Amino acid sequence: MKRTMRNSIAVAAAVFAIVGGAAFSAPDKYTLKSPGGVAFADFKGYEDWAVVSSARTDEVLKVIVANPTMIKAYKAGVPKNGQHFPEGSKIVKLQWKPKKSTDAPFVVDVPDVFTQAFVMEKDSKRFPKTGGWGYALFNYDAPSDTFVADAAPADCGQACHVKVKTKDYIFHPYQKR
């Protein structure tokens, strides 16, 4: 009887540890969805997408990447040729806090702590009120190594991007290389 009781307790403890651990583990970033309906899962693989451009503000270093659909459109001349990006185009602005390199023999800022992934996807049926683009901001918390969908409507989102409506709402041109 004691042995059966010990085995039952051990099994219960193991189940509790597994279930309890799952309850407290960080959510997979690809399960996140923004308040505006943009799912992080729609951008799976963004880590390997081609670079469109880079930018620097006083606060962050940015690298802008796009999916193959959008890169193909850029190479065909969009938006300079007056055309719009095709449905399914996706672009991600990755943002880091900068730091001065201690390795380089010259002054250069390099990425330090990753902070955000600002995403846009072209889907005119889902996002007809915002020029066909859906916007979302996923904030990264380095200590917990997790992403969280920002409750705000995505950084500046449509409000900022309307300034570049003639460029199909995209600020960054595809850079020569």
Q: 132 CB contacts (<8 Å, ≥6 apart)?
A: 84, 87, 122, 123, 124
Q: What was the pLDDT predicted at 153?
A: 59
Distances (CA, A) of 86 to 2, 14, 59, 68, 124: 68, 51, 32, 11, 10
pLDDT in tens, the chain (177 residues): 544 444 444 333 344 444 444 344 556 999 999 988 999 999 999 999 999 999 999 999 999 999 999 999 999 999 999 999 999 999 999 999 999 999 999 999 999 999 999 999 999 999 999 999 999 999 999 999 999 999 875 556 777 888 899 999 999 999 989
Amino acid at site 73: A
* 115 vs 111: CA distance, rounded Å: 10
What angle is formed at CA 119 by the lines to CA 70 and CA 23, rounded to 5 degrees?
Answer: 130
Query: Cβ(163)–Cβ(79) under 8 Å?
Result: no
Q: How many CB atoms lie within 10 A of CB 60?
A: 16
* 104 vs 117: CA distance, rounded Å: 27
Q: 95 CB contacts (<8 Å, ≥6 apart)?
A: 60, 61, 62, 114, 115, 116, 117, 118
Indicate the pTM of the whole model: 0.81
* 122 vs 134: CA distance, rounded Å: 6
Q: What was the pLDDT predicted at 159?
A: 77
